[in-house]
Amino acid sequence: MPAVVETWHRFDICRIDDLGNAIFGAELEAIQMPGRRVRGSLAFAARDGIAFSSGLIDGNVLVRGVFSADAITLGVILRIGSGSRLWLNDVSKGSAGVLLPAEECDLLCRGNALYVAATLSAARLKQQFARRGLALDRNLLDRSGLHPAPLAASAVRWLSGQVAAIHNAKSTAEIDRPGIGSKFIEVIVSHYARAPLGRDETSRPGSHAQIVRAACKYIARHLDSPISIEALSQAASTSRRTLFRAFSELLDDTPRDYVRRLRLHRIRRDLVTHTEATVSSAAQSWGMGRDMGRLARDYRTLFGESPSATLALGRALQHDTPL
């Protein structure tokens, strides 16, 4: 039987906004974190009702959101920098995870990361197990989380080589590759069928992770209003000192800088998507209109361009005109 050939479509990551499509069909929020601005590429393929996604991400970025409202996503990290985290848990090469429909994921990438994922319906997933004569562990569909064991090193090597070849291709046109998606499904299904999932320690964030998650939820609800360190500490049920230690350990950031970073991203979103937005109005909306000079400096440092350049990009995209 001839090998199945899949057609992958590769796209360069030119701006932080491009990572909103890190998983096919998702609408994710990508936040530039301290360190190198993100570069790399994304690639996608589809076959037999399964959407495959892959990314080569070079830089420090936090990507979060819902991958699919009605489908399951299985993924494997093939390469990633030290200090990277998934659901605020440590991850490394070979880490495998599952995200259920409508549930949120957050991935903090540091350094150079390479991943591959498949998004498919529960019925299609059960079919893949049955086709191979394997039993579907009920825990797999009970909750999102990391598998307690990494993927086999031989499988990681093969997938890394095949997926990296797509991202290293000079062209961004269609790229035909033999059976990467099929092999990935076979590997990940066998991995999840090999042993009961259980509830391992890596799937339960520690105290610092709980503090950061509680603080981030408070920040998300109050981002357009003044946020004090005292309020954040209270929301996370911790002291100021422990709050700063938790942010430093897990995000390599301070609470204040993290809030400012998110507000700059919201300003960028408004400049790109709101037809009537101006730099001044967007800054005022997110409580950053008092010092426009500092805003411009911080914005350029974070995104590598001025707010006015982003505004011009947004208006060109809205009117479908060339830059």
We report the CATH number of the domain holding residue 291 as: 1.10.10.60
| Same domain membership, residue 313 and residue 290 | yes
CATH of the domain at 132: 2.60.120.10
Domain boundary among the residues 253, 284, 315 is at 253
Same-domain pairing of 176 and 219: no
Q: Which residues of the chain have pLDDT under 70?
A: 1-3, 172-173, 194-206, 319-323
| Same domain as 194, residue 85 | yes
Give the chain's domain count: 3
Residues 111, 195 within the same domain: yes
Query: Do residues 193 and 216 both lie within one domain?
Result: no
CA–CA dist 232, 247 (Å, integer): 12
Beta bridge partners of 223: none
Note the pLDDT of residue 40: 95
Residues spanned by the domain of 258: 254-323
Answer with the one of 159, 177, 201 that is the final residue of a domain: 201
Do 157 and 221 fall within a single domain?
no
Residues 184 and 215 in one domain: no
CB 6 within 8 A of CB 52: yes
Q: Which long-range contacts (CB under 8 A, 24 or more apart) does 223-232 make?
A: 223/259, 223/262, 223/263, 223/266, 223/286, 224/285, 224/286, 224/287, 225/287, 226/287, 227/259, 229/255, 229/256
Strand-by-strand arrangement of the 89-90 sheet: 29-32, 61-66, 104-109, 85-86, 89-90
Cα separation values, 155 from 33, 133, 181, 237, Å: 31, 20, 13, 43
Q: Are residues 266 and 299 in the same domain?
A: yes
The whole-number pLDDT of residue 314 equals: 86
pTM of the model: 0.89
The SS3 of residue 146 is strand
Whether residues 194 and 212 fall in one domain: no
Please indicate, yes or no, whether residues 134 and 148 belong to a single structural domain of this protein: yes
> Are 145 and 235 in a shared domain?
no
Please give the Cα distance from 235 to 17 (Å, whole number). Answer: 30
- Per-residue pLDDT, 175: 83
Question: What is d(CA 33, CA 19) in angstroms, rounded to the nearest whole number?
Answer: 13
> Tell me, what's the pLDDT at 1?
41
Q: Based on the domain organization, do 60 and 108 belong to the same domain?
A: yes
